[in-house]
Amino acid sequence: MFYPNALFGNLLIVAFGSAFLTYVLGKISQSLRNGFAIIISLVLVLMVAGLYGLGKEIVYFRFFDYPLLLRINALSWFFAITITVLSTLSIIFSLSYMRDTPQLDFYYLMMLLVNASMLGIVLAGDLISFYVFWEIMSWSIFLLVSYNKGPALAAGLKYIVISLVGSLCMLVGILSLYTHCGTFDISQLAVLIASAPHGYIVFILLMFCIAFGIKNGIMPLHTWVPSAYSESPSPFTAVLSGILAKMGTFGFLMIFYILLGWRVFLYLGQGVLSFHYILCIIAAITIVIPNFIAVLQDDAKKLLAWSSIGQCGYILLGIAFGTSLGLAGGIFHFFNHAIFKALLFLAIGAVEFRTNGVRDLNSLGGLVNKMPVTFMATLVGACGLIGIPLTNGFVSKWLIYKTLILKGSPFLAFAALLGTWGSFLAIYKLLHNVFLGQPSETHKNIKSAPFTMQIAMAILSIATIVFGIFPGLALNIINSIGISLGFESLDVNLWGIASETGTLNTINIFGAIVVFMFIVYIIFRTGAKSVLVPQDDSYAAGSYIPEGKYHYTVDFYNPFLRMVRPWLKDRIDQFYYWISSTSEKLAELVRRIYTGDLGYYVIYIILFLAVLIFTQLIWKPW
Amino acid sequence: MDISNGVNPALLIAIPLGLTFAIPLCGFISKRIGEYIPILGMIFNLVVAITLIPRVIREPIIVSLGGFPPPFCINLMADPLGVFLAALIALIGLMISIYATDYIKKGATQNYHMLYLLLLVGATGIVLTGDIFNLFVFFEILCISSYALVAYDGDKPGIESGMKYLIQGTVGSGLILMGIALLYGKFGTLNMAHLAQNIHSTTPLSTFLPLALLITGFGVEAALFPLNAWLPDAHSSAPSSISAILSGIAIKMGVYAIIRIIFTLFGASSLFHFILFLGLFTLLVGELAAFRQNNIKRMLAYSSTGQIGLIIFAFGLASTLGIKGALFQMTSHALAKALLFLAVGYMIYRSGSIKINSLAGMGKKMPLVSLAFAIGVFSLIGFPPFVGFSSKFLIVKATLAQHDSVLTILLGFVLLATIIEGAYFLKVIQTIYFKDTAQQTVQPWQGTSLAALIPICILMVLIVGIGIYPEVLSKILNAAAGMLLDREAYIRNVLP
Amino acid sequence: MIYYVGSFGLIIIGLYIVLTKRNLIKVIIGLDLFETGIFLLLICTGYVKGGTAPIFSNAKLTSALMVDPVPQALVLTAIVIGVATLALALSLAIRLYHHYGTLDLRKIRELKW
C-alpha cells in the first residue's frame, strides 16, 4: 500500500513544508494549528515506520553541481523512528504546557523545523546535506533556547557560540575530505579514505569529534548543556536531551564506523594511546564527574542536565570501545536514554507547569499525593536511569559492563560503576525533593498534571518497562545495525542476549521478581496490620514539636557534598568564561584604534604607504 | 569587438548619466518625478547588463570611444567580471532607489536623487573601463557623490563624518593621481592593456612605487585595515539608504580597482601573500571592533570592514576557485548588508534611537522587517540555507584546495572571526526578538511603507533563492575568475 | 628635475599641514596644496626640454619639439575634480561651524571608537 520510494523521497519535503504550514495555520486559528501539528507528527512517524527495512539512496538536489543524496539504512531508520516518536510526544505534551505563552506559532514552527532537520541529518547520504541540516538544526535550537527570555538569552548565546565553533570545525573537516578525496558522498569517501595517511585521518577525526562532542556534551565541551537545558521550555528540553544531543552520537557512529570503518578506526595508534581508547577515557571522565556535579544542583532541570551529560558518556564509551556488545550497548543506551530522560524532563515539566515555574528543589516537596501519575512517571524514569532490572536502562548498562569486563578494562568498568552511583544519588535527590517529604504551603492545592501531559508520560513509562522486559524488540534492529557496520552478530532473542559468559534473560528476571513480590505480599497480608501515622508526627526528643513543616530536603546529602564539593568546581566553564572576557577586552582595545581625531586617520594612511615602500626598499620581498 | 548584434555597453554608463541631468529638468514639471528616475535608470541598466552577460562570456566587448583604435583611445572593456559587477550595481541600486522614494523626505530630495544616480554611474564606469585615468575620473565621481550624500541629512554627526571622509578620501585620491602620474611618466600610456604589456620592461622599484601609491589610494575607499577609519563614522551617520549603497557597492568598487591593478595591470603575483595577510588582519580587526558596539549602524559598518577583509583574503588565494569565492562573497555581502541597512533604517525611525537596546521587541512590532534583519544576519554569519553559506563554503574550499598548512592555520583565524561575528550579531537578534520593549514609540506609526517593503522582500527572496540555487551565478563567476587570472587574454582582447 | 623636487616639496608640505594643523580651514588649504603638488608632478612628466606648446601653429613644428599634451589634459580634469572637492569641503566646513561653533579639529570628535 505504501510505496517506500515515494515515502522516502517526500519525507523531508513533508517535514519541512509542514513546519512552515503550521506557522501559517497558527495565524488563522490556534486549535487548527495544534491539531495540524499533532497530525503531521503522527504522519511522519507512520512514514518513517513504512520505511522499515529499506536500504537505498536517492539524489534529491544539486548544489553547485554536486549531487546531494539521501540515504536510508538500518542505522538511519532506527534514529529516525526515535526522532519522530519523541518529537510527537513532545508536541502532545506542549499542547497543555505551552497553552498561554506568547509567540506560540513561532514555537511550533521551530519544534517542527528541529524535527525536520534532525530527520535530514540522519537521512543524509553526503556530507554537504549533513552539514546543511546540522546548521539548520543548530540555529533552530538557538531560537528555541532563547524562547523563554530573561536568563535564557545568555544560555542561548553561549550555546550558539560554542556550537558555531563545532560547526566550523566540521566544515573544515568536510571540505578537507573533499579536497583530499574529491567527493562528498559518504559511501564513496569510505572507500577512498582508507588509503589516507594516519596523521591526516587523525586530523579529520579531531575536527569531527570536536563538532560532535560539542553537540553531545562530552567533557570538556559540555559547558553549554546545563544552562541551555534548564532555560529552554520543558517539552523542548525533552527533545533536546533526548535526541538532539544524540545527533552527536549519530555523528560519532557515522564518522567512526561508516566513514572510516572499524578496521581503520580501531587501529589508529597503539595500545593505550590508540585514538579509540583515549576517547573511552574521555567518555569515562564524562561519566564520573558530571554525575556527581548533578548531585550538587539545586535546580531540578540543571540536575537532569548534568545527569544527561553523564549518560552521554556511557553512550560514547559503548560506541568507542569497539566491540559488538559495546556498540549494541551504546546504541541501545542512546535509545533508552532518549526514552527515560525525555520522560524525566516531561515529568519535571509537568511539576513546573502546575507550580507556576518553580524548579528549585529546595522549595518543592510532597507532591506525591497531588500528582500521582507524575510521581509514577518520575519513579519509572529514575529506575531506568539508575538501571534497575526490568527497565530498559538495565539492559543497556548490562551490555556495556559486560563488554568492559570481558575485554579486561577494569578501570573503565569502575568508572562506569562510579557513574551509576552518582546518578543514583542525583536522581534520588530529585525524586525525594520533588515528590516525597511534606508539601509546602504554597503548593498544597495544586492539581494533577493535565491529560495530554499524562498521556505523553504514560507512553514513555510503558516504553521504559516494555523495552526492559522485551529488549529483543530493539536489540534485533540494533544487531542488524551492528552487522551492517561490520561487527559480528550477537545472539539476540526477544528476552535478551546470549553471550559467552552468561545470558541476559529478562524473562527469568521478570519471573523472579514476580515470585518475590508475591512472597512479600503474602508476608505483609498475613502479618500485623500497619498503622497510619500523620506525616508531621516527628520525634522531637521530648520538647515541643514546632509548627509548620520540616522540609527534609534542603541541603540534601550535606555531609557527602561537603566532602565532594571542592573537587567539583566547574573549572572548564571558568576557562571558557575567561576566553570570552579576554576577547571582550581585546575588542575594547581594538575599538580604540579609531580615535576620532582626523590627524590620526591621515597618519594611518601615510604610515601604510610608508610601510609598503620601506619594506620593498629594504627587504625587497616583492 | 563586434557590437552590431546587441546593445553597446557604453549605454550602461551613458543612459543613467543622461537621466541624472534629466532630473532637474523634470523638476520643472513636478518635484516628485525626480524620485522615479533613478529607478528607471537602474532597471535599464539591470536589463542591459543581464542580456549582455551571455555575450561577454563568449568574448569580451571592447568599445573604443572617439574612434581611435586602442591604445590611443579611451576604451571600455566589458568582460565577464565587469558586466557581472555592473549587473550587481544595478540590482542593489534599484532596490535602494525604490526604498529611498519613501525614506528620503526632508531636504533637497532632488539633489539626493541626482547624487545617488551619479554615484551609480561612477560605480558602473569603474567596472567597465579599460583606461586608468578614466578609472580615476569615475572613481572621483563615485567618491564625491558619496561625500555629499553622507552629509545629506545635515545633522551634526553627518556633517562631521562627511568632512572626515572627504579629507581622507581626497588624500587617497591624491595618492592615486600620484601613482598615475608616475606610471604615465614611465610608460607614456594610460591604457590598462598597454600598461600591462609593458609593465615588466623596467626595474622593479620604479614599478613598485606607483603600485604602492595606487594600492594605498584605492585602499582608502576599499576600507583596508589602517585606511578605513572613515568608514564607521560615515556609514553610521549617513541616512540608511546611503549606508546601504555605500556598504553594498561603493567599497566593493575600491576592492575591484585594487584587484584590477594587482592582477591585470601589474601581474604582481608576489603581492598575493601580502593581500592575503592584509585581508586577514582587516577581517579580525573589523570583527573585534564590532564586538562591543552599542550603536547598531556603527556595528554594521565595522562588520562591513571585516567582510571586505574576507573578500580580499579570498582574492589573495589567486586561484580560480578563490576568486570565484571572493566574487560570490562580494555578491552575498552586498545583498545581505543592503538588506540589513534597509531594515535597520526603518527600525531606527520607529524606535527613535540608534542604540541596540532600543531595538528590543521589534520582533513583535515590525515582524517583516525583523525577519529581514534576521535573514540578513544569518546570511552574513554563513548559516545554510542562505547565500552567505554558499560563499563561505566556496572560500573555505578554495583555501583547503591549496593544500598548504599555513593557509589552513590562516583559515582557522578566518573562522575565528566568523565566530566573533556570530556572537555579536546573534545577541542583536536576541534583543530584537526576545527582549521586551522598553519604551514607547517616538513617532506615530502608520506601518512600514510599501516602497520600503518591496525591496526588503525582494532582497530576502534573493538571499534565500541564490542560497538554495547557487549555480545560477556559477557560469558567470567562473568566466569572470578565469578572465581576471589571465592577463594575456586581457591584453590580447584589447590591443590589436 | 627641479620641477620634480618642487612638486614633491609641495606634496610634502601639503601632507604636513593636513597631518598636524588643528584648524579645519588650514587642513583644507593643506589639502589644496597637496593636490597642487600632484598636478605639478603630472605636468612634469610631460615636459620636453626646450619644447613648445603642442599646437601645430607653425609648419616646421614636429611632435618632437612639443611638450606632451596628454598630461595637460589630465591635469585640467584633475583640477576640475579638485575644485569640486574643495567647494564641497568648504561648504561642509561652514555647516560644521554652525553645529560645533568651532573649527578646532581636536574638539570635533563626537564620533569615535
pLDDT in tens, B390-408: 999 999 999 998 888 888 8
Give me the pLDDT at residue A540, please.
Answer: 64
Please check whether residue B167 touches A, CB under 8 A. yes
Residue A613 in contact with partner chain C when CB distance is under 8 A: no
**Cα A433 to Cα A430: distance, rounded to the nearest angstrom:** 5
Predicted pLDDT at A539: 66
Measured CA distances, B348 to B344, B352, B362, B369, C7 (Å): 6, 5, 10, 11, 48
Highest mean pLDDT among A186-195, A399-408, A526-535, B368-377: B368-377
Report CB contact under 8 Å: A602, C109. Answer: no
**Residues contacting B240, CB < 8 A, separation 6+:** B103, B297, B341, B342, B344, B345, B346, B348
Give me the pLDDT at residue B254, please.
Answer: 93
Q: Which residue among B161, B166, B181 places its CB closest to the CB of C89? A: B166
Contact A609 B216 (CB under 8 A): yes
Instruction: Give every CB contact of residue A8 below 8 A, 6+ residues apart in sequence.
Output: A51, A54, A56, A58, A70, A72
Contacts of B236 in chain C (CB under 8 A): 111
Residues written for chain C: 113
Distance from CA of residue A342 to its chain's centroid? 9
Question: What pLDDT digit, counting tens, does each position of A414-430 carry?
Answer: 888 888 888 888 888 88
Query: pLDDT value at position A546?
Result: 62
Give the pLDDT of residue B438. Answer: 62
pLDDT at B49 over 70: yes
Q: Do A591 and C19 lie within an 8 Å CB cutoff? A: no
pLDDT mean over B297-316? 93
Cβ contacts of B162 within 8 Å, gap of 6 or more: B147, B148, B150, B151, B234, B237, C92
Domains of chain C: residue spans and CATH: 2-47+67-110 (1.10.287.3510)
For residue B71, whether the previous peptide bond is cis, meaning omega lies within 30 degrees of 0, is: yes
- Report the C-alpha gap between A204 and A192 in whole angstroms: 14
Cell digits of residue B342: 534597509
Residues in CB range of B345: below 8 A, 6 or more apart:
B99, B103, B239, B240, B241, B243, B244, B452
Confidence (pLDDT) at A5: 66
Predicted confidence band at A445 (pLDDT cuts at 50, 70, 90)? Answer: confident
Task: Answer yes or no: is pLDDT of C102 > 90.
Answer: no
Section B204-222 average pLDDT: 89
- Secondary structure of residue B76 in the 3-state scheme: strand
Q: Is the model's pLDDT at B442 over the cut of 60?
A: no
- Check whether A621 has a pLDDT greater than 70: no
Chain B window 222-251: which residues touch C at a Cβ cutoff of 8 Å? 232-233, 236-237
Whether residue B385 has a cis bond before it, omega within 30° of 0: yes
Grid cell in block for residue C53:
606648446
Domain ranges of chain B: 3-494
In this predicted structure, what is the pLDDT of residue A271? Answer: 60
Asked whether A430 and A377 are in contact (CB, 8 A), the reply is no
Interatomic CA distance for residues B332 and A572, integer angstroms:
37
Set of chain A residues whose Cβ sits within 8 Å of the Cβ of B270 = 621-622
From chain A residues 576-595, the ones with a CB under 8 A of any chain C CB are: 591-592, 594-595
Nearest-Cα distance to chain A for B441, in Å, is 21
Q: What is the mean pLDDT of chain B?
A: 87
The residue whose grid cell reads 614636429 is C62
The pLDDT score that the predictor gives to residue A134 is 93
With a pLDDT cut of 70, the percent of chain A lying above it is: 91
Length of chain B: 496
Asked if residue A114 has pLDDT above 80, the reply is yes
* Whether pLDDT at B83 is above 60: yes
Q: Of A158-167, A438-447, B79-88, B94-103, where does mean pLDDT reach its minimum?
A: A438-447
> Considering only A371-385, A398-412, A484-498, B82-96, which range has the smallest mean pLDDT?
A484-498
Nearest CA in chain C to A603: C19
Across chain A, mean pLDDT equals 83
**pLDDT band at residue B34 using 50, 70 and 90 as cut-offs:** confident
Quick one: which of B434, B363, B420, B422 has its CA closest to A153?
A: B434
pLDDT, one tens digit per residue, over C63-77 is: 677 888 888 899 999
Q: Copy the grid coordinates of residue A251.
A: 555523528
Confidence of residue B2 (pLDDT cuts 50, 70, 90): very low
Q: What is the DSSP letter of A243?
A: I
CA distance B377 to chain C (A): 23
CB contact under 8 A, A62 and B285: no
Chains touching C (at least 3 CB pairs under 8 A) are: A, B
- Residue B21, judged by CB atoms within 10 A of its CB (0-12, 13-18, 19+), counts as exposed
The per-residue pLDDT for A502 is 62
Lowest average pLDDT, out of A82-86, A183-187, A604-608, goes to: A183-187
Model-level pTM? Answer: 0.90
Q: Do A596 and C27 count as a contact with CB atoms less than 8 A apart?
A: no
A neighbour chains, 3+ CB pairs within 8 Å? B, C
Cross-chain residue pair C45–B159, CB shorter than 8 Å: no
> B119, B137, B166, B298: which to substitute to probe chain C, counting the most C Cβ within 10 Å?
B166
Q: Residue B238: is its pLDDT beyond 70?
A: yes
Contact between chains at A62 and B423 (C-beta distance less than 8 A): no
Q: Taking the CA atoms of C20, C21, C26 and C27 in sequence, report the sign of the dihedral they define.
A: positive
Predicted local confidence at residue B1, as pLDDT: 42
Q: Classify residue A438 as exposed, middle or buried by CB count within 10 Å of its CB (0-12, 13-18, 19+).
A: middle
Q: Please report the residues numbered 176 through 205 in chain B whose beta carbons come closer than 8 angstroms to any beta carbon of chain C.
A: 177-178, 180-182, 184-185, 188, 190
Which positions ≥6 away from A349 have C-beta within 8 Å?
A: A93, A97, A234, A235, A237, A238, A453
Tell me how long chain A is: 622
